[in-house]
Amino acid sequence: MQKGNILIKGASEVVTCSGSHAKFGKEMADLNVIHDGSVVIRDGVIEAVGKTEDIIKKYNEKDFQVIDATGKAVLPGFVDSHTHLVFGGYRAEEFSWRLRGDNYMEIMERGGGILSSVKATKAATKAELYYAAMRRLDSMLSFGVTTVEGKSGYGLDLDTEIKQLEVMTEVDDNHPIDVVKTFLGAHAVPPEYKGKEDEFIDFMIEDVLPIVAEGQLATFCDIFCEKKVFSVDQSRRLLRKAQELGMKVKLHADEIIQLGGAELAAELGAVSADHLLQASDEGLKQMRDKGVVATLLPGTAFSLKENYARARYMIDNGNAVALATDLNPGSCFTESIPLIFALATLYMKMTTEEAITAFTINGAAALDMADTIGSLDVGKKGDVIILEFPSYHFIPYHIGVSTVEKVVKNGILVFDKEKECYINVSK
């Protein structure tokens, strides 16, 4: 992507979220706010952050595109660290089934759920998947997302898994948002492997994972570690092999029952463990001690009418918590950052400050990228959002509505709500 020079000046608040690693426990409340602040970005990289009077003395405004942020709050771009953004088809009917009382596992067992999306994704062309993903990314950008993780997992075979990852590479090349790729080939058990889950893991380890790793098609390997899907032992085998091949690992853990996914994440030194609705106290403690980020997905719990993950407990006991949308076609069809903020603050007992940390520096840490994104620190990417209000407190306060007015990516203005347009910038 092109890289630009921008000077954002006179902001009522510059919320830096300063740091180069995840924030744990009480650290999550420290946003490091500069009042009447400015941010200087040169060649796509943050060069200075500070009081406006100090910045204006040092820099010549003629050298930059100047954005007057008077009366507005400025924050790092949001990092959505868990999505399934490339998929074919939709499952609107299943949403209605859940409304009448059918649960997620029941729908999966009769051929719906993930397997329904697998069928549709296999049938979709790369062009169809590409244009659908680009539209979703446009929507994410309007909510202030500048980096997003995308998972495969709607193929459960070689060809379709590769097709999804290649589409993610293409959208990453052609959309302002950076897309971090995760291989989730073990997302569900294909019908032909029902009762033969070990054989399916063998297939993934021997026939698919080496191609993904050798081709550098994904940064992470993930697995759905859950009862009636993949056991802790099966998950361990796949993820250890991924690590041997040079990939980083994360996992869907302890979402539906307490299976031991959190403990496995700690054992393997995973970058993150996600969902964690049923995670044990001991598992969370082990994650904390090993520095594993707890990525919580309240939109999924909301959509499935489940109890929420214990965010307050985790933070009070020293865990690093990230938030993400879990955008997917079945259990959580939303890319709405404001919705996740509302759920986290109103129902998960997170403070506004903790939720912002969870979507910035901790979201970056959940992708092992906290050294380059997630905060407004000198030397990091010039990924910035400007709110239409003077304080970060408006983010959850304006319930369910985006407060993002402008988005800057790599020092280039790529979204401006005032002009009601996306400014197309290819990489």
Going by the annotation, the residues of the binding site for N-formimidoyl-L-glutamate are: 154, 328, 330
What phi, psi does 359 have (nearest 5°)? -100, 0
- Within 8 A by CB and 6+ apart from 388, the residues are 72, 403, 404, 405, 417
CB atoms within 10 A of CB 228: 13
Q: How far apart are CA 98 and CA 358, in angstroms?
A: 29
Check if the beta carbon of residue 25 is closer than 8 Å to that of residue 289: no
- Within 8 A by CB and 6+ apart from 105, the residues are 228, 256
AA identity, residue 40: V
Q: How far apart are CA 385 and CA 415, in angstroms?
A: 9
* Binding-site annotation, residues for 4-imidazolone-5-propanoate: 91, 154, 187, 255, 331
* Binding-site annotation, residues: 82, 84, 91, 154, 187, 252, 255, 326, 328, 330-331
Three-class SS state of 241: helix
* Binding-site annotation, residues for Fe(3+): 82, 84, 252, 326
* Binding-site annotation, residues for Zn(2+): 82, 84, 252, 326
CB-count exposure of residue 151 (10 Å: 0-12, 13-18, 19+): buried
SS3 content of the chain, % helix, strand, coil (to 5): 40, 25, 40
